[in-house]
C-alpha cells in the first residue's frame, strides 16, 4: 500500500510558549490525578505486571550504575568467619524480620508488603559484592528496605555482605548458633525473626540480647578463626561501658551493630548491663602479661570499682551526680591529650620508627608498638598510651578503657576512625583525636598489633 496516500500532515511549530504551556498542563494533570484520591496505593492489590517489571528493572539498573564507583578494600576477605560472625546477630534483629533466615519463615505480615521482601538466600547470587554493599548501605527507597544505621561504618556494611555471601549455604543450626546465641537450634524459630523479648526492659532479657554477640562472659562469641569478631567488654570500667552505651544510643558514636541494642533499653537497664560486664573477670591469657605492661599493671581487669569507690557512691551511673562525674576533668593532660610529668623526658629520645627504617619483621613491629604504648613520641605529641590506658590511668579516670587483648582489627579501625574525626564516643573521646592524627599508618598498625598480642602472651 502506498503509505503517502493516507498520511495526514500535521504541522506543529514548537515555540517556547507552547513547550511551557505543555509543561503546565502536565503538572496540572498530575496534581489533578493526585488530588482526585483515585491513585491505587493499596499494597493489597500489588502492582500491574508491567509496573512490577518496570520498577524492578529501574531498581536493578540504578543499583548497577550507582555501585560502579565502589571499591572493595584490598585487604577485605568476604570468606572471613569473623566477619560472618560479627554481622550474624545484627541480621537476626535488623533483617530477618523482613527477609527471613535459615529456619526462620517470613511472617505473613511482611509477605503482604509491596514489594514483598525476597528471601535473600535465593537472591544474593544474582548480585555482585559491590551491588550488595550498595543496597545494604543505602537501602531502597519506596520499598521499606532501610539504609545502614551508621553511614560512617563501611567496615560494618562489608561484614554484613560477608554474612549474605554465607547465607545460601547456611543451615538452620549454624544460623541459630551464629545469630541467636546458640541453644535455640532445636526450637522452632519464630516467623519474622528474632523477637527482642527484652523490650519490657527486664535485665535478664536485655542481657540475653547482648550475649548473642558478646557472650555471657563479655569476651565475645566465636572460636578459632572467628575468635576476634567482637571487642572484649569484660572487666572494662563500668562508667566507661555505661557512657559508651549512652553514646551509641544518642548517636554520638557510630555503629550499625551497637546503636540498635543500645537504644532498645532504658538507661537504668544499660547501667545494670555496664555493671554486669564490668564485673566479668578477664582470664590472664586475654588480659596480657603483667611483666610487659609494667609494674603497676597487674591485670587490666578492674580491681576497684571506680563507681563504688568514687565520692558519688550511691548515686548510680545514670543519676545526675554521675553525669557530673562524667564531665571532662579540668586537667591539662586531658585537654591537650598530653600528659605532664612522667614520661616527658623519655619522649625526646624516641625515633619515629624502629632504628633502621620501617619495621619489617613481626618482632620489629611489636617492638615499635610497645615503645609507642609505654613511652610515646615527644616530637609528634604522642603521649605514652599506657599513661591513660593502664590500671593507674583508669584509676585516675574510669572513662579510660583498657586496650590489652583487644582484637587488632578493632584497635586499628578505631584509631583510623579518630584520625578521620569519625569515631565519636564519650565526653572524653576528643582526647584521642589529636593522638590518632599524630600517628602514622605504620604506627597505628604497630601499636594495635602490640596491644592485641598481649592477649596471647604467656603470663
Our finding on whether 394 is near ligand HEC (CB under 6 A) is no
The three-point CA angle 121-125-131 to 5° equals 110
Minimum CB distance to ligand HEC smaller for 13 or for 42 = 42
Helix (H) or strand (E) holding 60: helix 49-66
Assess contact for 158 and 165: CB atoms under 8 A. no
Binding span for ligand HEC by CB under 6 A among 64-72, 130-138, 283-291, 295-303: 130-138
Our finding on whether 387 is near ligand HEC (CB under 6 A) is yes
Sole binder of ligand HEC in the list 176, 233, 278, 317 (CB under 6 A): 233
Sole binder of ligand HEC in the list 67, 82, 84, 89 (CB under 6 A): 89
Assess contact for 353 and 442: CB atoms under 8 A. yes
CB of 38 to ligand HEC, least distance (A): 24
Our finding on whether 425 is near ligand HEC (CB under 6 A) is yes
Report the C-alpha gap between 395 and 65 in whole angstroms: 53
Q: What number of residues does the chain have?
A: 459
3-state secondary structure of 145: strand
Sole binder of ligand HEC in the list 100, 117, 222, 237 (CB under 6 A): 117
Contacts with ligand HEC by CB under 6 A: the residue count is 68
Our finding on whether 166 is near ligand HEC (CB under 6 A) is no
Residue with cell 587490666: 300
3-state secondary structure of 140: strand
Our finding on whether 403 is near ligand HEC (CB under 6 A) is yes
Closest to 317 (Cα-Cα) out of 325, 430, 309, 161: 325
CB of 345 to ligand HEC, least distance (A): 16
If one counts every other C-beta atom within 10 angstroms of the C-beta of residue 63, the result is 19
Across-strand partners of 101? 104
CB of 20 to ligand HEC, least distance (A): 35
Our finding on whether 137 is near ligand HEC (CB under 6 A) is no
If one counts every other C-beta atom within 10 angstroms of the C-beta of residue 292, the result is 16
Our finding on whether 261 is near ligand HEC (CB under 6 A) is yes
CB of 449 to ligand HEC, least distance (A): 11
DSSP-assigned letters across all residues of 296-325 = T-S-SS-SS-HHHHSTTGGG-TTSHHHHHH
Residues at the contact surface with ligand HEC, assessed by CB under 6 A: 59, 86, 89-90, 94-95, 97-99, 113, 115, 117-118, 120, 123, 126, 132, 135-136, 140, 143-146, 160, 164, 206, 209-210, 212-214, 230-231, 233, 241, 244-245, 255, 257-258, 261, 273, 333-334, 337, 372, 382-383, 385, 387-389, 399-401, 403, 411, 414-415, 425-426, 428-429, 431-432, 435, 447
Amino acid at each position: 500500500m502506498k503509505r503517502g496516500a493516507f498520511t495526514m500532515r500535521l504541522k506543529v511549530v514548537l515555540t517556547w510558549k507552547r513547550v511551557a504551556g505543555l509543561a503546565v498542563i502536565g503538572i496540572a494533570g498530575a496534581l489533578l490525578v493526585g488530588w482526585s484520591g483515585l491513585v491505587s496505593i493499596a499494597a493489597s492489590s500489588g502492582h500491574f505486571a508491567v509496573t512490577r517489571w518496570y520498577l524492578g528493572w529501574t531498581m536493578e539498573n540504578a543499583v548497577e550504575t550507582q555501585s560502579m564507583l565502589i571499591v572493595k578494600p584490598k585487604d577485605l576477605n568476604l570468606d572471613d568467619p569473623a566477619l560472618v560472625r560479627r554481622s550474624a546477630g545484627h541480621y537476626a534483629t535488623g533483617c530477618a524480620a523482613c527477609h527471613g533466615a535459615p529456619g526462620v519463615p517470613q511472617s505473613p505480615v511482611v509477605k503482604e508488603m509491596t514489594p514483598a521482601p525476597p528471601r535473600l538466600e535465593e537472591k544474593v547470587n544474582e548480585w555482585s559484592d559491590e551491588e550488595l554493599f550498595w543496597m545494604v548501605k543505602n537501602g531502597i527507597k519506596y520499598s521499606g528496605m532501610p539504609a545502614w544505621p551508621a553511614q560512617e561504618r563501611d567496615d560494618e556494611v562489608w561484614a554484613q555482605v560477608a554474612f549474605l555471601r554465607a547465607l545460601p549455604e547456611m543451615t538452620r543450626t549454624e544460623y541459630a548458633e551464629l545469630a541467636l546465641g546458640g541453644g535455640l537450634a532445636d526450637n522452632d524459630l519464630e516467623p519474622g525473626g528474632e523477637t527482642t523479648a527484652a523490650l519490657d526492659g527486664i535485665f535478664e532479657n536485655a542481657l540475653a540480647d547482648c550475649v548473642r554477640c558478646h557472650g555471657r562472659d563479655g569476651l565475645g562469641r566465636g572460636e578459632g578463626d572467628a575468635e576476634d569478631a567482637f571487642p572484649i567488654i569484660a572487666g572494662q570500667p563500668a562508667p566507661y561501658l555505661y557512657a559508651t552505651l549512652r553514646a551509641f544510643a544518642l548517636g554520638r558514636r557510630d555503629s550499625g551493630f551497637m546503636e540498635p541494642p543500645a537504644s532498645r533499653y532504658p538507661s537504668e537497664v544499660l547501667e545494670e548491663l555496664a555493671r554486669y560486664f564490668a564485673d566479668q573477670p578477664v582470664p590472664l591469657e586475654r588480659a596480657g602479661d603483667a611483666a610487659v605492661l609494667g609494674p603497676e599493671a597487674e591485670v587490666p581487669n578492674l580491681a576497684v570499682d571506680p563507681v563504688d569507690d568514687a565520692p558519688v557512691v550511691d548515686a548510680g551511673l545514670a543519676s545526675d551526680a554521675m553525669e557530673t562525674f562524667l564531665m571532662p576533668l579540668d586537667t591539662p593532660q586531658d585537654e591537650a591529650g598530653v600528659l605532664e610529668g612522667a614520661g616527658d623526658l623519655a619522649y625526646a629520645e624516641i625515633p619515629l620508627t624502629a632504628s633502621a627504617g620501617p619495621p619489617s619483621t613481626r618482632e620489629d613491629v611489636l617492638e615499635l608498638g610497645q615503645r609507642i604504648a609505654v613511652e610515646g613520641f615527644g616530637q609528634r605529641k604522642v603521649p605514652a598510651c599506657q599513661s591513660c590506658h593502664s590500671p593507674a590511668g583508669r584509676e585516675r579516670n574510669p572513662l579510660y578503657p583498657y586496650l590489652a587483648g583487644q582484637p587488632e582489627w578493632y584497635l586499628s579501625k578505631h584509631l583510623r576512625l579518630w584520625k578521620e574525626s569519625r569515631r565519636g564516643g564519650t565526653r572524653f573521646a576528643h582526647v584521642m583525636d589529636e593522638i590518632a592524627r599524630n600517628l602514622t599508618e605504620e604506627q597505628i598498625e604497630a601499636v594495635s598489633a602490640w596491644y592485641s598480642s598481649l592477649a596471647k602472651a604467656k603470663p
